[in-house]
């Protein structure tokens, strides 16, 4: 019997994502000026206010207020009516130096003996149901909001009422073999201007104005947004968009009050959006604001790298990878593999895990070097998912009033998405 599965995403203007982006922008700034920086930065955003907290060990000095305001402006909170605006919001910093008790467990004379920055378990997942080896429901959810943000920023005349905050949700029907059959439901909630005013103060007039706004937004989503997202996918995905999809667009009827004014945002509160949309598993650790000595982040990236390369090499159609650590200990406690009965090799999952252990050095420093994680590459991860993205080389420039010259660096984004171990895996598994 077929079944339904749902994933959601949130836009860069969602309050939790605003917090994530500020935390990762601060991390990038520290790493740009001092690659050995140890950073764990948390952000809270609410009406007219940003609160920064956490611990940092770095030789760099960063104007945290300036960085936070630049992120808020880039997202699009630039109008006073949003009740959260880049130039006027308060920015309070309570960042202090990293605990010596933590640092002594991480740093070693031989960097490859560097211990994990904390205990915990991390998961990576991959499936062959999409070209980027991500669950389709989550990938579509991200694409809907990424395209909506592109329209808001670059083609204002098409949907001129859009504000930065938005959420999406996609429900897909699968057959018993896990193959997508059709899209069942799409939910889009987008913050908007109050672009239709009521004729008078009566409830009926207000309801009519709200209905007119909702109808306009729903029509634009169906006629403009959906076709553009469809066009981004191969034919086998496009066929899932049928005329039987149920749409819920701004189902409350009105979404004018949003962003940090509508709901307080916190770093690390969208960990399922950041990873696999509820598919596979999650160890519970958030990513944003953490330098790569924190295995919550670096080992989760490494586990995704392993899972994606295993599926791409043909070892299995679907793979979950778990790795776990003890604080201050370099080698992981375990590597666990689950192929969900969809393995293509005559090996048990335990035997696959043993081969993975020998193929991939999962010590924190080895992960940092293999995936080039000691670079300022993190702001780009903080919205529309850390996984399933396209690896690319970019030039980034950092300017600070405390440094006479800008720092210009070439960095590689989303290295954990590279399929650079496929040949080694095929050789190891005899494929």
- CA dist., res. 243 & res. 226, Å (int): 12
Q: Does the annotation place 263 within a ligand binding site?
A: yes
Does residue 53 have a known ligand-binding role?
no
- Taking CA atoms, 180 is separated from 42, 130, 235, 237, in Å, by 38, 10, 13, 9
Q: Is 346 annotated as a binding residue?
A: no
Is 167 assigned a ligand-binding role in the annotation?
yes
- Nearest CA-CA partner of 89 in 106, 72, 67, 113: 72
How far is it, in rounded angstroms, from Cα 410 to Cα 405? 16
Q: Does 14 belong to an annotated binding site?
A: yes
Tokens coding 202: 């009566």
17 labeled binding residue? no
Token pair listed for 242:
């049928």
417 annotated as ligand-binding: no
Check the annotation: does 270 bind a ligand.
yes
- With CA atoms as reference, report the closest residue to 270 among 138, 82, 94: 138
Residue 115 φ/ψ, nearest 5 degrees: -80, 160
Residue 254 assigned as binding residue = yes
Distances (CA, A) of 418 to 315, 366, 388: 17, 16, 10
Nearest Cα residue to 132 out of 122, 142, 123: 142
Is 153 within any annotated ligand binding site?
A: no
* Cα angle: 253, vertex 257, 258; to 5 degrees: 105
Is 25 marked as binding a ligand?
no
Is 286 labelled a binding residue?
yes
Q: Are 250 and 188 in contact (CB under 8 A)?
A: yes
Q: Specify binding-site residues.
A: 14, 16, 42, 55, 98, 165-167, 254-255, 263, 269-270, 286, 290, 294
Q: Specify binding-site residues for ATP.
A: 14, 165-167, 254-255, 263, 269-270, 286, 290
Q: Specify binding-site residues for Mg(2+).
A: 16
Q: Specify binding-site residues for L-methionine.
A: 55, 98, 263, 294
Q: Specify binding-site residues for K(+).
A: 42
């Amino acid at each position: 019997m077929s079944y339904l599965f749902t994933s959601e995403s949130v836009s860069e203007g969602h309050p939790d994502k605003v917090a994530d982006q500020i935390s990762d922008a601060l991390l990038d700034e520290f790493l740009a000026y001092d690659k050995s920086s140890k950073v764990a930065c948390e952000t809270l955003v609410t009406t007219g206010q940003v609160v920064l907290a956490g611990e940092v060990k770095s030789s760099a000095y960063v104007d945290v207020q300036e960085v936070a305001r630049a992120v808020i402006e880039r997202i699009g909170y630039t109008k006073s009516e949003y009740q959260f605006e880049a130039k006027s919001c308060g920015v309070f910093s309570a960042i202090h130096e990293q605990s010596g008790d933590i640092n002594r467990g991480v740093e070693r004379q031989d960097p490859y003996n560097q211990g994990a920055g904390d205990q915990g378990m991390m998961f990576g997942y991959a499936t062959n149901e999409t070209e980027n080896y991500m669950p389709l429901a989550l990938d579509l959810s991200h694409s809907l909001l990424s395209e909506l943000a592109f329209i808001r920023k670059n083609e204002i005349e098409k949907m001129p009422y859009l504000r930065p905050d938005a959420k999406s949700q996609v429900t897909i029907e699968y057959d018993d073999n896990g193959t997508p059959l059709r899209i069942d439901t799409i939910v889009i909630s987008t913050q908007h201007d109050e672009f239709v005013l009521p004729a008078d103060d009566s409830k009926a007039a207000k309801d009519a104005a709200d209905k007119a706004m909702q109808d306009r937004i729903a029509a634009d989503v169906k006629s403009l947004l959906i076709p553009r997202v469809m066009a981004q996918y191969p034919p086998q995905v496009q066929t899932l968009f049928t005329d039987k999809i149920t749409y819920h667009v701004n189902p409350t009827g009105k979404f004018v009050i949003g962003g940090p004014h509508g709901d307080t945002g916190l770093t690390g509160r969208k960990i399922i959006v950041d990873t696999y949309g509820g598919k596979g598993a999650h160890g519970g650790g958030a990513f944003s604001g953490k330098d790569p000595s924190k295995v919550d982040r670096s080992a989760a990236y490494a586990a995704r790298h392993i899972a994606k390369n295993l599926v791409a090499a043909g070892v299995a159609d679907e793979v979950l990878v778990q790795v776990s650590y003890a604080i201050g200990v370099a080698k992981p406690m375990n590597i666990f593999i689950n192929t969900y009965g969809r393995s293509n090799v005559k090996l048990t999952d335990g035997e696959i895990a043993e081969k993975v252990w020998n193929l991939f050095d999962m010590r924190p420093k080895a992960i940092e070097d293999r995936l080039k994680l000691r670079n300022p590459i993190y702001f780009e991860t903080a919205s529309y998912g850390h996984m399933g993205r396209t690896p690319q080389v970019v030039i980034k420039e950092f300017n600070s009033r405390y440094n006479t010259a800008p720092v210009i660096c070439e960095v590689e984004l989303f290295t954990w998405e590279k399929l650079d171990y496929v040949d080694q895996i095929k050789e190891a598994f005899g494929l």
